[in-house]
């Protein structure tokens, strides 16, 4: 099939950037979306044109490095799918696609479709952990964890930190990302002693990074490739003094 792409090209953080149109014939339906871009880049290189920069690594939907807007939808908008796992059979001959980077003040563009998401790391550094030194913690079975709690913690811990939630949010909020970490650790007994401090410290850092607030719109939940639920945000909003491991 043949596609027409409109791709955001921006040389570096200072450059203003613009959309550039590319015709891509010869796309095979079994290709992944990134393999289609690889093919375009090979052709651009052979023609002496600068290939399109985009972040990617594992290409199996778990590292969280890839991500772009395809026709205004984060990762292309297919349920539970990162862009590296999106295959071309979902598109048809003649489709016109707009590719843009995640857009947020806190995610400055590095080049083209690649953005800097180190703000997420700083949020984790502010409090997204359980303070446990390497050494001799109690036996793994010393504190039983109800299966239901372990499962809820795991649901939230599945976050891959790709940033699709921020990209899809009309407010460019990072509430789903932060909520996921708060919820993961708050559901486990090991996470209790620090839960208030953790939640406040992460939210404070989130604000300092320039992410806006959540206004309960729900675009993040729809965009999340790991299908993390909006409920995790409620867990952040709860007065941290009362954050519980239960439903909240």
Interface of this chain with other proteins, residues 153 to 192, rule: CB under 8 A = 153-154, 157-158, 160-161, 168, 170-173, 184-185, 187-188, 190-191
Q: Which of 151, 152, 150, 130 is nearest to 141 (CA)?
A: 150
Q: Does 14 bind other proteins (CB under 8 A)?
A: no
Q: Does 59 bind other proteins (CB under 8 A)?
A: yes
Shortest distance in whole angstroms from residue 24 CB to other proteins: 12
Q: Does 24 bind other proteins (CB under 8 A)?
A: no
Tokens describing residue 59: 């290409």
Shortest distance in whole angstroms from residue 140 CB to other proteins: 4
Nearest-angstrom CA–CA distance, 225 and 163: 10
Shortest distance in whole angstroms from residue 131 CB to other proteins: 7
Q: Which of 4, 163, 22 is nearest to 82 (CA)?
A: 163
Using the 8-state DSSP alphabet, how is residue 79 labeled?
T
Using the 8-state DSSP alphabet, how is residue 238 labeled?
S
Cα distances (Å, whole numbers) of residue 1 to 5, 25, 69, 86: 13, 6, 21, 16
> Where in 205-244 is the site for other proteins (CB under 8 A)?
205-207, 210-219, 221-223, 229-231, 233-240, 242-243
> Where in 86-105 is the site for other proteins (CB under 8 A)?
87, 89, 98, 100, 103-105
Query: Strand order in 69-70's β-sheet?
Result: 18-24, 3-9, 96-100, 69-70, 73-74
Shortest distance in whole angstroms from residue 205 CB to other proteins: 5
Interacting residue with other proteins among 22, 55, 91, 164 (CB under 8 A): 55
Shortest distance in whole angstroms from residue 23 CB to other proteins: 17
């Amino acid at each position: 099939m043949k596609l027409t792409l409109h791709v955001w090209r921006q040389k570096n953080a200072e450059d203003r950037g613009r959309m550039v149109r590319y015709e891509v014939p010869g796309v095979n339906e079994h290709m992944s979306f990134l393999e289609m871009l690889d093919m375009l880049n090979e052709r651009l290189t052979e023609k002496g044109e600068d290939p399109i920069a985009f972040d990617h690594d594992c290409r199996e939907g778990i590292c969280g490095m890839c991500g772009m807007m395809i026709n205004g939808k984060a990762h292309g908008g297919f349920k539970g799918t990162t862009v590296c796992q999106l295959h071309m059979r979902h598109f048809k001959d003649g489709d016109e696609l707009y590719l843009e980077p995640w857009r947020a003040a806190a995610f400055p563009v590095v080049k083209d479709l690649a953005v800097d998401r180190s703000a997420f790391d700083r949020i984790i550094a502010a409090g997204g952990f359980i303070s446990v030194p390497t050494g001799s913690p109690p036996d793994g079975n010393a504190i039983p964890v109800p299966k239901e709690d372990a499962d809820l913690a795991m649901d939230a811990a599945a976050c891959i930190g790709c940033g699709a939630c921020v990209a899809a949010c009309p407010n460019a909020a990072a509430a789903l990302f932060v909520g996921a970490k708060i919820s993961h650790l708050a559901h486990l007994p090991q996470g209790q002693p620090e839960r208030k401090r953790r939640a406040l410290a992460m939210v404070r850092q989130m604000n300092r990074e320039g992410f806006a607030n959540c206004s309960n719109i729900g675009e993040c939940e729809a965009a999340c490739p790991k299908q993390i639920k909006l409920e995790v945000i409620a867990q952040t909003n709860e007065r941290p003094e009362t954050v519980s491991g239960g439903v909240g």
